[in-house]
Amino acid sequence: MTLAKLIEQLDLKVYTGRNELTRPISGGYASDLLSDVLAHGQKDQLWVTLQIHPNIIAVAAFKELAAIVLVNGREPAAETVELARKERVSIIGTPLTAFEFVGRVYGLGIQGT
């Protein structure tokens, strides 16, 4: 599934990366600990988190993640958006909790690994 399809199906908000939406998604990882994602995240995965500060962009870029998904309606900090634009990292958002969001994504056939 592509990012664009997921955004449409789950009615997600796009903060950055409108030009990267054809990217395929190959699973996901949910964690709020940066080093944990650096250890266990994989290329083309969705990263589900509630961290909104600029350091999430380095994590997403260094792991070649497909997109960062901010849950609980959290909005990225201004510096985070700026850096994401520069580094072409997609940030999307949902009002759902991490548990709810992951459940829906799983229901669409996107699994952890």
Partner 1 sequence: MTKDTVFRQEFPVKGGDFSRAGEVSWEIKNLLKELGLSTPVVLRAAIASYEAELNIIMYAWEGRLVLSVTPGRVHVVVEDSGPGIEDIELAMTEGYSTATLEMRELGFGAGMGLANIKKNTDAFLITSEVGRGTRLELTFLTNGQRP
Q: Does 75 bind partner 1 (CB under 8 A)?
A: no
Q: Does 16 bind partner 1 (CB under 8 A)?
A: no
Stretch that binds partner 1, among 21-29, 55-63, 66-74, 98-106 (CB under 8 A): 55-63
Closer Cβ to partner 1, 45 or 51, answer by number = 51
Residue listed under structure tokens 């497909």: 66
For partner 1, the binding residue among 1, 8, 9, 32 (CB under 8 A) is 32
b/e sequence 2-41, b meaning 16+ C-beta within 10 Å: ebeebbeebebebbbbeebbebebebbbbbeebeebeeeb
Contacts of 18 (CB under 8 A, 6+ apart): none
For partner 1, the binding residue among 1, 9, 18, 38 (CB under 8 A) is 38
Q: Does 51 bind partner 1 (CB under 8 A)?
A: yes
